[in-house]
A and B are shown apart, each in its own frame.
Chain A
Amino acid sequence: MTERIVIVGGGQAAASCIAALRSSKAAMTITLVGEEDHLPYRRPPLSKAALVDGPSVESLLIRPKDWYEGVELKLGRRACEIARKDGRVILSDGEQLAYDKLVFCSGSRARQLSDKLGGNLEGVHTLRSIADAERLRSELVSGRRVLVVGGGYIGLEVAASARKHGLSVLLVEAGERILGRVASSATAQYLRSIHESRGVEIRETTGVQLLAGDKRATHAILTDGSEHAVDIVVVGIGGLANDEIASSAGLETSNGIVVDAYCKTADPNIFAAGDCATFPFGDRSIRLESVQNATDQGEVVAASLTGREKAYAPVPWFWSDQYETKLQIVGIAHGHDDIIVRPGQRDNARSIWYFRQNELIAVDAINDPASYMAGRRLLTAKINPDRANIADPNFPLATMLAAAR
């Protein structure tokens, strides 16, 4: 029997799932529903290189157009409703697609600053899509003043890109420090000092009280009482899972569509992968917004769909580029109770090793790819390194990997 597979959402997870489904050579038809007009493309560069050089759709595409031959493409349309009883997806233009298996790769969207705070004024940007990047890029003109709201990766990357364009940058973070949810204070402090040395003003424990202006945001009042004239505001305050239609269809959601280690929902015909999925990780459930997670979960879904089930047990990894600084992260530092800062082999290189109950759980590597790679291999092989060795900058990490070879 030829199975009809419908993928809702056209990003990194979808592209990965399609690639893996095809290589399985199982008899199936694949339909891809994507809200944007574009084929699946890479989002990470949108806040980095693409914001400096201008985004080029062609260079961002994960696969070229002809690669999708044989996949039915329904782009520029949204899935509005899932009728699970009779296995149909209803699209925004009224078309109905029958499915045997449905895969949510619906991603996440940027959390917006509320209208009450002026989030709906012109000149206030969020950054998720090529269209967002094009809009923002066109406003990055030397001499302008940009307020970046949120000291997460997107906010910091936008700050770096804006400085490259010669804008003045004020970045505010409502939490105690930048990267509060995602990195140690050692990493945050280092990145903070790099930004400050490049002329970015960073104010922590400071939020937006109000953005004001007639039509366009022209000034900002901050929670520290200060007032600033602004030309552009970029809001990077996190992402929300696109899980509403799953929820409306009666599937369990909790900060994302709830799936098991095989990316299955409670409905045996429905799966989810990537930013939109909440999955078991250790003793809790998490949702990740990353290329690694989208790619690997896309493959896990394909494996489940073709009867070669494999449980998802990731060693998550991420990266960020800010100015000439490369940050590479492996593992999840959540719940760490100790860190070791290890100087790297060259200037401006260092790594931060995170431990929980004496067990290595994550590494942040700053301009230090060797430590990143070593950390990735140790975590993958579940080798717990001797902390004294990590703390000794002259100890060659490669020797610890002998067992992992």
Chain B
Amino acid sequence: MPQITWRDVDGAIIEAEVPHGKTLMEAAVNAGVKGIYGDCGGALACATCHVIPDDDWADRVGKPGAMEEEMLDMVDGIRAPTSRLSCQIRSSEELDGLILNVPGGG
């Protein structure tokens, strides 16, 4: 099962095995990753699941869709070129070993 690692808002490291197809927002909420709320449940409505993948991973994680891009543009706190909303990323073999940073302030 793909293993995903989060570096949460306080810098704590949380790891979880995430079944295929599950969104990385759900996985983070279930694993209790601080700073990931997923209030809207993945409807792309709230922008409370912002993550920044480590640079090496940006290509495999992929680019945001148009609506996601607009939300990220206005997100509270820091927006990086590789920023994503993790409700829009699903677990897959390709993402095994992925490291996600949770930015502060949103």
Contacts and interface: CB of A to CB of B under 8 A. Distances in A.
A398 B66 contact: no
Interface string A107-136: 000000000000000000000000000000
Interface string A286-313: 0000011001000000000000000000
A372 B72 CA distance: 12
Contact of B41 (A42, A67, A317, A370): A42
Contact of A373 (B39, B40, B66, B74): B74
Nearest to A48: B43
A398 B76 CA distance: 11
A397 interface: yes
Interface string B65-106: 011101101111000000000000000000000000000000
Contacts of B13: none
B85 to A, nearest CB: 10
A377 B74 CA distance: 8
Contacts of A373: 47, 70-71, 73-75
Contacts of A194: none
Query: Of B40, B45, B47, which is in contact with the most chain A CB atoms at under 10 Å from its CB?
Result: B45
Contact of A67 (B30, B39, B44, B68): B30
What bracket does the count of chain B residues touching chain A fall in?
20 to 34
B29 interface: yes
Given A45-B43, A326-B67, A369-B74, 20 more contacts: A42-B41, A44-B43, A60-B41, A67-B32, A291-B41, A317-B46, A319-B40, A319-B45, A319-B46, A367-B67, A369-B68, A372-B71, A373-B70, A373-B74, A373-B75, A374-B74, A377-B76, A397-B74, A398-B73, A401-B74
Interface of B: 29-30, 32, 37, 39-41, 43-47, 66-68, 70-71, 73-76
Interface of A: 42, 44-45, 48, 60, 62-64, 67, 291-292, 295, 317, 319, 321, 326, 328, 345-346, 367-370, 372-374, 377, 397-398, 401
